[in-house]
Chain A
Amino acid sequence: MNKILKLTLILFLVCAITAGVLGVVNEITYQRIEEQQRIKTERAYAAVLASDGYEEVPFDQEAFPTVDLINRCTNGAGYVVTTTFSGAQGSITMAVGVDNDYKCTGISIIKHSETSGLGANAASSSEKGVNWRAQFVGEDENVAITKMGGKIDALAGATITSRSVANATGVAIRAVESLG
């Protein structure tokens, strides 16, 4: 009995010390991480549809569960949609620009966990990634990869990633259309 108590106490102490250290590290890095995330989101917005400001607009969240928020561009250029959906390895967070004719003005992936060298090319700033994302400009709500009858060439070795990005872009455009 005494022995079990001793073991429990030691394990508890080790966990408590570790948690304490992690708490301190988190306290130090928390604000910087938030800041980095904010800069990244801002950059993504500016890349898909430039505007001097963005304001959030309400939408039907039940009809579009994967859409996080819709921002109207204050300069009247259109909307930027943030959407989170399943990729091949985990969830992908992406910004989609939609103009007033409900055409895609560009996509930018903010956060993902796709396979490096394959699906991750969809988000990379390399020539391959930039060219791949450029295909989405001008597409409408029926955007799809060639395999599904659309015009987007899927990334080699990353059909699932490509398909889910194309689908999510379509959903984002439809969400903006539903605003009327």
Chain B
Amino acid sequence: MNIKKQFTEGLITNNPVLVQLIGMCATMAITTTLFNGVGMGLSVLIILTCCNVVVSAIRKIIPNEIRLAIFVVIIAGFVTIVDLLLQAYIPALSDALGVFIPLIVVNCIIIGRAEAFCQKNTVGASFFDGIFQGLGYTLVLIVMCVFRELLGSGRFGGGLIDIVNGFRFTLDGTGSGIQIFPEDFGASILTLPFGGFITLGLLIAIMQYALKKSAKKKEAAAKAEKEAEEVC
């Protein structure tokens, strides 16, 4: 398996949320501001990569019967480590993401990748799989955050960007974002869980349409080639 193929798989053709349809619960719950999306995406990326490496490293000594129990222990361990480190060294980020970090334990992307990929692949491939699947997840979160925040409350970059005292990035989640249009004109329903369902549904539909179209194009190209061969 080469890295380039893994990259396109993680971000597009086998995107964890839009194609594998896993990890949707947290995706809908947290994508209300850009800060949440980026924070959660990066936390998942780090934990996913660590778990992938460890799982693939010990894949040969794990008995098949108890593999799921072992995966859960490893995942919970890494989540707790990240949680404790954030609390101790980046308390502001920990406050903002406090609720979401423990949620990563039950995020099926991580156990899904351990089961579907790391069990059968080398440590190196699993490491890149963790990074690319994590990036794919982060990308979807960012798209959803931008969409919901902009149409829901007329803002961009809430928590992450502050323009009150000049443009700057706020890593403690206090920035108010850039107000594109007054909040009163926003469809605030989009920032509620209901809006999460709608946005995710739309994204999945667009993704499936694009994937089908590109698959058809490939098919047509293959057919044309074949016909050309026959003519010759």
A14-B33 contact given A125-B174, A157-B192, CB 8 Å threshold: no
Nearest B-chain residue to A89, judged by Cβ: B99
Q: By the criterion CB–CB under 8 Å, are B91 and A36 in contact?
A: yes
State whether A11 touches B66 (Cβ < 8 A): yes
> In residues 19-37 of chain A, which contact B (Cβ within 8 Å)?
21-22, 25-26, 28-29, 32-33, 36
A10 touches B191 (CB 8 A): no
Cross-chain contact B74 with A18 (CB below 8 angstroms): yes
CA gap between A22 and B33 in the complex, in Å: 31
Bound Cα distance from A52 to B30, whole angstroms = 40
Residues in A with CB closer than 8 Å to B192 are 118, 157
The chain A residue with its CB closest to the CB of B89 is A32
User: How many pairs, one residue from A and one from B, have CB atoms within 8 Å of each other in the complex?
Assistant: 73
B36 at the interface (CB under 8 A from A): yes
Q: Which chain B residue shows the least CB distance to A90? A: B99
> For chain B residues 44-94, which have a beta carbon within 8 Å of chain A?
61-63, 65-66, 69-70, 73-74, 76-77, 80-81, 84-85, 87-89, 91
A125 to B170, CA, bound (A): 12
Contact assessment for A29 and B87 in the assembled complex, using a CB-CB cutoff below 8 Å = yes
Q: Within 8 Å CB of A21, what residues of B?
A: 77, 81
Closest B residue to A8 using CB positions: B66
Contact B87 A36 (CB under 8 A): yes
Q: Knowing A10-B63, A11-B69, A32-B89 touch, does A25 contact B174 (C-beta < 8 A)?
A: no
Main secondary structure on A side of the interface with B: helix
The CA of A43 and the CA of B171, in the complex, are separated in Å by: 20
Q: Does B176 reach chain A (CB closer than 8 Å)? A: yes
Complex contact A25–B74 (CB within 8 A): no
Query: What is the number of residues of chain A that contact chain B, defined by CB distance less than 8 Å?
Result: 28
Select from chain B the residue with minimum beta-carbon distance to A40: B91
Candidates A10, A29, A125; contact of B88 at CB < 8 Å: A29
Q: Is A91 an interface residue (CB 8 A)?
A: no
What residues on B are CB-neighbors of A11 within 8 Å? 66, 69-70, 73
Contact A116 B87 (CB under 8 A): no
Closest to A36 in B: B91
Number of B interface residues at 8 Å Cβ cutoff, please give it. 33
Give the distance in Å from the alpha carbon of A49 to the alpha carbon of B214 in the complex. 64
Q: How far is the CB of A132 from chain B (nearest CB, A)?
A: 14
Q: Does B96 contact A (CB under 8 A)?
A: yes
Question: Does A66 interact with chain B (Cβ within 8 Å)?
Answer: no
- B98 sits at the interface (CB 8 A): yes
Closest chain-A Cβ to B40's Cβ sits at a distance in Å of: 10
Contact of A22 among B62, B69, B77, B174 (CB under 8 A): B77
A125 shortest CB reach to chain B, Å:
5
**Is A100 part of the binding interface, using a Cβ–Cβ cutoff of 8 Å?**
no
Q: B32 on the interface (CB 8 Å rule)?
A: yes
Kindly provide the distance from the CB of B57 to the nearest chain A CB, expressed in whole angstroms: 13
B187 to chain A, nearest CB (A): 13
Task: Give A residues with C-beta under 8 Å from B.
Answer: 6-7, 10-11, 14-15, 18, 21-22, 25-26, 28-29, 32-33, 36, 40, 89, 113, 116-118, 124-127, 156-157
